Amino acid sequence: MPVIEAEDIVKQYAEVRALDRIRFSVEEGEVFALVGPNGAGKTTLMRILTDILRPDSGTLRLFGQTKVSDALPQIGYMPEERGLYRHLCPLEVVAYFAQLKGLGRRAARQAAESALEAVQMSAHARRKMSELSKGMAQRVQFAATLAHAPRLLLLDEPFSGLDPVSARDLQRVLQDQRRAGRAILLSTHNMALAEALCDRLLMLHRGQQRLYGSIEEIKTRFADDSLQVEYAGTLPQIACARMEPVNATTARFYPQDGACRRAILRALVESGADILRFEPVVPTLEDIFIRVVGAEGEQALRQTETQERLTDL
């Protein structure tokens, strides 16, 4: 049984349709990406999944239940806007959130200790939150999301503001959670991370569902049969493909008139080209994102890159 089943979800704000008949599912043990530029509807959808908002129409089932509030104890939600008590220590913060999810005081403290160990924050468990760096605070927030052992993790931009080491550590924790059978839905602008971590995705744009399916299936669908060739000397022009230089020794060939990659290679060899290496060009998720969403998608990716560079300084 899917952990999340959404059928024709609609949400309207005055004249703006934030979500327009959105349909998707998330399975146990799956990492699922929710992607799209700002204003796409991602935050609205996350709020519906956590019962902060209700859809105007459509059906949402969590763990087979249509009453979302009944499923909340089994959900761990990490919002983009973090909320931690600066005068408390991480152990107290995480234990408090675990108690809010129904754990007793002793069980909550034990769960907090385990969660902080999982995110490598045990050594800082008794420092004041106000003394911790942004990356450390984000690890604590993630520990609070994990502490009550939820079956579903909803993570809104979990890698935002993390340095590369912290981001890599968080990826390891997510993989551990996936191996434990938990479903993970993460909302992100980082296409490289989505491509590396996720099994499937839902891409939203202006409230509409633009792409949905496995990462590999989507990449195959957008492949253009182009071929990248590394060569020595010079490359002749061939009739069956359009050539674009990549650098001084590499070119990309786009098939024309129904040609295939094999025909391109044959034409190059027959024309005397000295080919050192060749490979089919598979589009990245970032390439696809920009093609589907256009300028808004490219702007969102550039903003993400700028934020990551600032974090690394």
What is the arithmetic mean of pLDDT over 198-226? 93
**293 belongs to a structural domain:** no
**254 belongs to a structural domain:** yes
Tell me the pLDDT band of 281, cut-offs 50, 70 and 90.
confident
Tell me the pLDDT band of 151, cut-offs 50, 70 and 90.
very high
- Considering the domain architecture, whether residues 125 and 264 belong to the same structural domain is answered as no
Look at residue 291 and tell me whether its pLDDT is greater than 50: yes
Look at residue 75 and tell me whether its pLDDT is greater than 50: yes
pLDDT at 25: 97
Q: What is the CATH number of the domain that holds 275?
A: 3.30.70
Nearby residues of 276 by Cβ (< 8 Å), 6 or more positions away: 230, 231, 232, 249
Query: CA geometry: angle at 193 spanning 129 and 73, to 5°?
Result: 55
Domain that holds residue 275: 224-280
Least confident residue range of 167-176, 265-274, 299-308: 299-308
DSSP, res 134: H
Least confident residue range of 191-195, 223-227, 271-275, 298-302: 298-302
**297 belongs to a structural domain:** no
**21 belongs to a structural domain:** yes
Look at residue 115 and tell me whether its pLDDT is greater than 90: yes
- Considering the domain architecture, whether residues 63 and 125 belong to the same structural domain is answered as yes
Look at residue 38 and tell me whether its pLDDT is greater than 90: no
- Considering the domain architecture, whether residues 49 and 85 belong to the same structural domain is answered as yes
pLDDT at 312: 46
**290 belongs to a structural domain:** no
- Considering the domain architecture, whether residues 173 and 72 belong to the same structural domain is answered as yes
- Considering the domain architecture, whether residues 137 and 76 belong to the same structural domain is answered as yes
Q: Which residue has the higher pLDDT, 13 or 1?
A: 13
Average pLDDT of the chain, as a whole number: 89
Number of separate domains in the chain = 2
pLDDT at 295: 57
pLDDT at 310: 41
- Considering the domain architecture, whether residues 176 and 35 belong to the same structural domain is answered as yes
Extended beta strands in 16-160, E state: 16-26, 31-35, 57-62, 75-78, 152-156
What is the arithmetic mean of pLDDT over 42-69? 95
pLDDT at 162: 79
Tell me the pLDDT band of 296, cut-offs 50, 70 and 90.
low
Give the Cα separation of 285 and 196 in Å (integer): 10
pLDDT at 237: 86
DSSP calls for 187-250 = E-S-HHHHHHH-SEEEEEETTEEEEEEEHHHHHHHT----EEEEEES-----TTEEEEEEETTE
